[in-house]
Amino acid sequence: MNSLQYNTPLFTDVWNSAESFKTDLQASPFANSISASDPDNVSLLYYLLYARYGNNPIANTDINQFKYKMYSVIFQYGPTWQKRLEIQDKVRALTEEDIMTGGKAIYNQALNPSIEPGTSSLEELDYINAQNTTNYKKSKLEAYSILTDLLKTDVTEAFIGKFKICFKTFVMPEKVLWYVDDDESEGN
C-alpha cells in the first residue's frame, strides 16, 4: 500500500492484475454482469480502469465497500457497454454495399376483402389486390456520412467515466510529512 502519501490505497494496491480483478468479480454477487457473453471483456475492463485510475487513491477507507461500489457501477452500466461494443464491431465490419443499402417499404391494397380488419389491429390481411414497393439506395456520400457519424461515438469513455465516484476527487498527499533539519538538530 502506498501509505507514504495517501490515507487510502491506490487502485493498483487493491487489484494488481487482471486475474485478481476477475477472481474478485467472479466471487461477488455481480459475477455475471458483463462476463456472461464475453469473459474477455472483464480483462479489457480491468486494463481500461488501470489506464485511467491505476495510481488513483480509492475514495473509501473500507476496501470491501470500494469493491462493491466498483461492482455496482459494472452492474449498472457494464451490460450496455458490452452490447455497444458488439454493435460497434458490427458497424465497423459493414461493407460498402451494406452501408449503401437503404430501407424497403411495401404498400398493399385490398379492395373488398372478405375479412373486416379492426382499426387497432396490426394483423395483415391475407388478400390483396395491388402491391407497391419502394426500394431506397443511399449514395456513397450519404452512406459514408452516416457510417462516420456512427463511428464517432466512443462507447467506452462514458462508461469508464462512471467509475470516477470510486476514487478521490482531490488527489493530494494527505499524510503529514515530517522533515528533520540536520543543522538544527546538531545545536540542541
101 inside domain: no
Instruction: Answer yes or no: are the C-beta atoms of 18 and 133 closer than 8 Å.
Output: no
> Is 6 domain-assigned?
yes
Prediction pTM value: 0.71
- Has residue 42 been placed in a domain? yes
Q: Looking at mean pLDDT, say which of 31-35, 74-78, 81-85, 140-144 comes out highest.
A: 74-78
Grid cell digits, residue 22: 476477475
The one-character DSSP state at 48 is: H
Q: How confident is residue 3, by pLDDT bands cut at 50, 70 and 90?
A: very low
What's the pLDDT score for residue 5? 74
Domain assignment present for residue 36? The answer is: yes
CA 126 to CA 10: how far, in whole Å? Answer: 67
Higher pLDDT, 187 or 8: 8
Q: Evaluate whether 74 touches 30 at the Cβ level (below 8 Å).
A: yes
Residue 126 included in any domain: no
pLDDT of residue 39: 64
Residue-wise pLDDT for 99-152, tens only, equals 888 888 888 777 766 666 666 766 776 777 777 888 888 888 888 888 888 887
Does residue 121 lie in a domain region? no
* Comparison of pLDDT for 175 and 69, the residue scoring more: 69
Kindly compute the dihedral angle of the four CA atoms of residues 42, 48, 50, 51, in this order, to the nearest 10 degrees: 160
- pLDDT band for position 171 (cuts 50, 70, 90): low
pLDDT at 25: 93
The string of DSSP letters for 120-160 reads T--PPPS--SEEEEEEEE--HHHHHHHHHHHHH--HHHHHH
Q: What is the pLDDT of residues 26-71, one digit of tens each?
A: 999 998 888 655 668 899 999 999 999 999 999 999 999 999 999 9
**Total domains present in the chain:** 1
State the Cα–Cα distance between residues 166 and 58, nearest whole angstrom: 6
Mean pLDDT of the region 165-185: 71
State which residues form the domain around 33.
1-93+155-169
Residue 35 located in a structural domain: yes
Contact 125, 110 (CB under 8 A): yes
158: phi then psi, degrees, rounded to nearest 5? -65, -40
Residue 141 lies in a domain: no
The torsion angle over the Cα atoms of residues 162, 164, 167 and 172, rounded to 10 degrees, is: 180
**Per-residue pLDDT averaged across 12-19, rounded?**
95
How many of the other CB atoms lie within 10 Å of CB of 4?
8
- Report the C-alpha gap between 43 and 19 in whole angstroms: 8
